[in-house]
Amino acid sequence: DTAVSQTPKYLVTQMGNDKSIKCEQNLGHDTMYWYKQDSKKFLKIMFSYNNKELIINETVPNRFSPKSPDKAHLNLHINSLELGDSAVYFCASSPRDRAFTFGSGTRLTVV
Amino acid sequence: QQPVQSPQAVILREGEDAVINCSSSKALYSVHWYRQKHGEAPVFLMILLKGGEQKGHDKISASFNEKKQQSSLYLTASQLSYSGTYFCGTEYSNDMRFGAGTRLTVKP
């Protein structure tokens, strides 16, 4: 039973396209996150949601739009993809003040 | 603001010890430690919730000095399986920031 599952695992797409990444957790956690990890391994927070409510929106371009239909799901839609969007995107969830559980990541390559 | 980790990289021989430091310019309420192996997701190691707290499992332990706004991760008698990138994270109100990571390589 996967705790935090992300799909797809790999995504190769052309510049200008729109794509979505899905994330689901079955841990009953209240908070979910999106992180971007660049080629230098830096984990940068993008968004956090608590019980479907947006908490953190960290100076991310408007082309990125998160959607949380319920507290078990946090999807990420990206419009007009650019070369600089290439990275690994991790979804994570946690209860308050407790360990984060990460999804396996989505490697996005924009060509 | 994300915490600052040091060193950026460490190379060890099996059986040697290492210390990874994490400091913040802001007050720390909790410190998390994670390890990420190449091509995988970060995996939780431990969390320290209050100043003075120390934790450990196996030969990996950590301390949290709230006054100095820093935490340290101690790896003793390192094993090949310890290789990876270690991240500290500081969390406040659903906002978790990670340090830039410390790449640890353990050689036979």
Q: Which of A48, A90, A100 shows the shortest C-beta gap to B32?
A: A100
Cβ contact A102–B42 (<8 Å): yes
Q: Count how many domains chain B has.
A: 1
Q: For B30, name the nearest residue in chain A, comparing CA atoms only.
A: A97
pLDDT of A13 over the 80 cut = yes
Beta pairing class for A75-78 and A53-57: unpaired
Task: Report chain B's mean pLDDT, rounded to a whole number.
Answer: 91
CA angle in degrees (0–180, nearest 5) for B57-B55-A94: 90
B108: which residues sit within 8 A by CB, 6+ positions away?
A: B13, B14, B80
Residues in B touching A93 (Cβ below 8 Å): none
- Per-residue pLDDT, averaged over B83-101, amounts to 92
pLDDT one-digit tens code per residue, A18-76: 999 999 999 999 999 999 999 989 999 999 999 889 988 888 899 999 999 999 999 99
A104, amino acid identity: S
Q: Number of Cβ pairs closer than 8 Å across A and B? A: 56
What letter would DSSP give residue B80? G
pLDDT of A97 over the 80 cut = no
B8: which residues sit within 8 A by CB, 6+ positions away?
A: B100, B101, B102, B103
Q: Of residues B18 and B26, which shows the higher confidence score?
A: B18
pLDDT of B57 over the 90 cut = no
For B27, phi then psi, to 5°, come to -60, 140
pLDDT of A96 over the 80 cut = no
Identify the pLDDT of residue A12: 98
pLDDT of B92 over the 90 cut = no
For chain A, give every domain's residue range.
4-110
- Supply the CATH classification number for the domain A4-110: 2.60.40.10
CB atoms within 10 A of CB A93: 26
Nearest-Å Rg of the Cα atoms of chain A is: 13
Here the tokens at position B93 are 């109100």
- Per-residue pLDDT, averaged over B28-43, amounts to 93
CATH code for the domain in which residue B84 is found: 2.60.40.10
Identify the pLDDT of residue B52: 66
Cβ contact A99–B47 (<8 Å): yes
Alpha carbon distance A27, A4 (integer Å): 8
Length of chain A: 111
What letter would DSSP give residue A3? S
Beta bridge partners of A17: none
